[in-house]
Amino acid sequence: MCLGVITLAGVQIAGFLGSLQLPDLPFAAPRAYLLARSGLWALWGLMAAIGLSLGASWAPALLRWGGVGLAAWYWADRLLLGESEFSRSGVPLCAATTMLLLGAGSWGLSRPEARRFFEENRG
């Protein structure tokens, strides 16, 4: 799970750095929004990865609520800023993937081994 969060953080860092170098073209979202979005989710991903690897007691809640927040933000972005037919064509697959990932994260955090790991490292 930690590897997945680190991968997500890396993608968001790349998005943040890419937003700094955008050409002057008309975009659906302002550059500041792209920077803020990528920066926020990169920070969340790094904090969650550090917490998960250290077994911090706050890490499961951060991962759970951050995952729900990220999914909600993703869908708001996709529905509000996705102006092309192409961006709307993969909605069923993306919805299924979102539900699968949220379910896998919840399942992983609810496992007895995971709960025991965070309880042992509490304190």
Please give the Cα distance from 11 to 36 (Å, whole number): 14
Q: Positive or negative CA dihedral for 53, 66, 8, 107?
A: positive
Contact 45, 3 (CB under 8 A): no
More confident residue, 103 or 33: 103
Convert the pLDDT of each residue in 39-63 to its tens digit: 898 999 899 888 888 888 898 899 8
Q: What is the pTM of this model?
A: 0.74
Tokens of 20: 């700094």
Convert the pLDDT of each residue in 4-24 to its tens digit: 777 778 888 888 888 778 777
